[in-house]
Amino acid sequence: MKKVRDDPMEKHTYKECDPAKTYLVTGAAGFIGFHLSQRLLEQGAAVIGFDNLNDYYDVNLKQSRLDILKRHPQFVFVKGDLADADTVNGLFSQYKPDIVVNLAAQAGVRHSITNPRAYINSNIVGFFNMLEAVRHSGSLCGKQAEHFLYASSSSVYGNQSKTPFSTDDNVNHPVSLYAATKVSDELMAYAYSHLYGMPTTGLRFFTVYGPYGRPDMAYFSFTNKMIQGKPIQIFNRGDMKRDFTYIDDIVRGMANVLCNPPASAEGAAPARVYNIGNSRPVGLLCFIETLEKCLMEEGVITRPAIKEFLPMQPGDVYQTFADVSELERDFDFHPDTGIEAGLRQFVRWYKAQYLSR
């Protein structure tokens, strides 16, 4: 099992996901939560899915993900809100999870500017309730949860110019409330690890995309507008870069981490944070051209998008670029899906989901 060490050249071994364990996945109706739950179920594990099914984006899409998960006899769905401490505690008492994966959160940088309270309720209060439930899981469940894995974000790096982004970089200058809540989550998790010996691992996700993705993400909203013949809005006049990471690569990386809680080393807290990204940034205009190509070759559109070039929006960052060397070292993480292959899979799913009825 992996131990926390500082030698960047040292390779570690890690345990595969254990199908005998029970996994609690919050945000199970969300994009990443759905894909992770599906992988665990296919491996024979029991998954307790928890989600409030809010209407931040199309609830029908969330329900379609759940419908797939419910085909598995080992899946149980519980509807509830992380901000309700009694509901969270009851969830632990009833289902006694071994591994806890907290993916539920209010997402979206721009939405945090117009609806900040939703981020405090979900990403701060809800996250605190999860930490407390894991801390007290021994009394709530009769056994202590083994690992608390949670979602952070590349947004924590703000607008820094140094690349690639390393987990050693200063993240004290978030440029959106969403990013600030994710930095806060990392700090709270570390404090709980330090105070109570709780093994916690945070994953800073870098622009995850693919089938069953979120409609508010650029590739999805661009596709909707291209089909409707509406202009797509390109911020900073296209001069932006993102470390687009395909969902299958993300889930493989997460699966390697799940059953490998960090250990205390020389008095340090059993807490780790990793970047999880593709480590190959793509320019926004190149990304759009690739999406157009896939859409045209799959017969979804017949001509390129109408483009509207706009200045940078508040809360946006110029670029993201993940240094994933630590995840490579500790968990053999090697993302191998190129942007065209990943977008083509998304386009084929989109066509089947929305245009083949």
Nearest to 27 by CA among 171, 203, 281: 203
d(CA 239, CA 237): 6
In a domain, 38, yes or no: yes
In a domain, 226, yes or no: no
Do the beta carbons of residue 236 and residue 316 sit within 8 Å? yes
Amino acid present at 255: A
Per-residue exposure over 145-177, b if at least 16 CB sit within 10 Å of its own CB, e if not: bbbbbbbbbbbbbbeeeebbbebebebeebbbb
Query: What is the total count of domains within the chain?
Result: 1
Q: Residue 152 pairs with which residues in a beta bridge?
A: 204
> Does residue 192 carry a catalytic annotation?
no
Per-residue exposure over 233-257, b if at least 16 CB sit within 10 Å of its own CB, e if not: ebbeeeebbbbbbbbbbbbbbbbbb
Do the beta carbons of residue 355 and residue 275 sit within 8 Å? no
In a domain, 222, yes or no: no
Do the beta carbons of residue 149 and residue 213 sit within 8 Å? no
- The token pair at 218 is 């650029």
In a domain, 173, yes or no: yes
Per-residue pLDDT 10s for the chain (357 aa) are 333 444 444 556 788 889 999 999 999 999 999 999 999 999 999 999 999 999 999 999 999 999 999 999 999 999 999 999 999 999 999 999 999 999 999 888 878 888 999 999 999 999 999 999 999 999 999 999 999 999 999 999 998 889 999 999 999 999 999 999 999 999 999 999 999 999 999 999 999 999 999 999 999 999 999 999 999 999 989 889 999 999 999 999 999 999 999 988 777 899 999 999 999 999 999 999 999 999 999 999 999 999 999 998 887 788 899 999 999 999 999 999 999 999 999 999 999 999 976
pLDDT of 266 reads: 72
CATH of residue 325's domain is 3.40.50.720
In a domain, 261, yes or no: yes
For residue 304, say if its preceding peptide bond is cis, omega within 30 degrees of 0: no
Instruction: Find the catalytic residue in 119, 178, 212, 246.
Output: 178
- The token pair at 36 is 């992770």
In a domain, 326, yes or no: yes
In a domain, 46, yes or no: yes
- The token pair at 268 is 């340090």
pTM value surpassing 0.75? yes
User: What radius of gyration do the chain's Cα atoms show?
Assistant: 20
Amino acid present at 246: Y
Give the count of beta carbons closer than 10 Å to the beta carbon of residue 203: 24
In a domain, 92, yes or no: yes
Residue 44, C-beta contacts closer than 8 angstroms, at least 6 positions apart: 19, 74
Domain that holds residue 62: 22-208+246-280+321-336
